[in-house]
Amino acid sequence: FHECLSSPVDQLKSYILTQRGADAFLPEITPSAAPQPFLPLLAPSPLSPFTNSTSPKLSGLCMLNFTASQSLMTMTSTDCWAAFAPLLANVICCPQLHATLVILVGQLSKETGVLALNRTLAKPCLSDIEQVLEGQGASDDLKQVCLIHPSNLTEASCPVKDVDEFENTVNSSELLASCEKIDPVKECCDQVCQGAISDAATRIALKSSDPLSMDGTHVLPEYSTRVNDCKTVVLRWLASKLNPYRAKEVLRGLTNCNVNKVCPLVFPNMRHVANSCGNGISNQTACCDAMDSYVSHLQKQTLITNLQALDCATALGLKLQTYNITKNVYSLCHISLKDFSLQG
Name the nearest CA neighbour of 29 among 333, 327, 344: 327
Tell me the average pLDDT across 162-172: 97
Residue 196 shares a structural domain with residue 107: yes
> Is the bond preceding residue 86 a cis peptide, omega within 30 degrees?
no
Give the model confidence (pLDDT) of 201-220 as tens digits. Answer: 999 999 876 655 555 455 57
Name the nearest CA neighbour of 194 among 238, 149, 138: 238
Residue 176 shares a structural domain with residue 322: no
User: Looking at the domain assignment, is residue 26 inside a domain?
Assistant: no
pTM for the model stands at 0.76
pLDDT reading at 344 higher than 50:
no
Give the pLDDT of residue 20: 34
Residue 203 shares a structural domain with residue 181: yes
Residue 241 shares a structural domain with residue 149: yes
Phi, psi of 218 (to 5 degrees): -95, 130
User: Looking at the domain assignment, is residue 173 inside a domain?
Assistant: yes
Sorting pLDDT into bands at 50, 70 and 90, what band is 41?
A: very low
pLDDT reading at 314 higher than 70:
yes
Q: What residues form DSSP beta bridges with 218?
A: 215
Q: Is 102 helix (H, G, I), strand (E, B) or coil?
A: helix
pLDDT reading at 310 higher than 70:
yes
103 and 69 in contact (C-beta within 8 Å)?
Answer: yes
Domain that holds residue 152: 68-210+217-260
Residue 87 shares a structural domain with residue 72: yes
pLDDT reading at 131 higher than 90:
yes
Tell me the average pLDDT across 112-132: 96
Residue 200 shares a structural domain with residue 315: no
User: Looking at the domain assignment, is residue 28 inside a domain?
Assistant: no
Residue 270 shares a structural domain with residue 160: no
Sorting pLDDT into bands at 50, 70 and 90, what band is 171?
A: very high
92 and 248 in contact (C-beta within 8 Å)?
Answer: no
Give the model confidence (pLDDT) of 66-102 as tens digits. Answer: 988 999 999 999 999 998 898 889 889 999 999 999 9
Domain finish residue from 232, 260, 288: 260
User: Looking at the domain assignment, is residue 8 inside a domain?
Assistant: no
Cα distances (Å, whole numbers) of residue 218 to 51, 198, 246: 49, 17, 37
Amino acid at 37: P
Give the pLDDT of residue 95: 95
Give the pLDDT of residue 25: 35
Tell me the average pLDDT across 191-207: 96
Mean pLDDT of the chain: 83
Residue 230 shares a structural domain with residue 290: no
User: Looking at the domain assignment, is residue 149 inside a domain?
Assistant: yes
Sorting pLDDT into bands at 50, 70 and 90, what band is 282?
A: confident
Residue 240 shares a structural domain with residue 310: no
User: Looking at the domain assignment, is residue 21 inside a domain?
Assistant: no
Residue 282 shares a structural domain with residue 147: no
First to last CA, the chain: 17
Tell me the average pLDDT across 169-173: 96
Residue 322 shares a structural domain with residue 235: no
Residue 139 shares a structural domain with residue 271: no
The count of domains in the chain is: 2
pLDDT reading at 319 higher than 70:
yes
Give the model confidence (pLDDT) of 222-280 as tens digits. Answer: 888 999 999 999 999 999 999 999 999 999 999 999 888 889 999 999 999 999 998 77
Q: What is the rounded CA–CA span in Å between residue 320 and residue 275?
A: 11
pLDDT reading at 16 higher than 70:
no
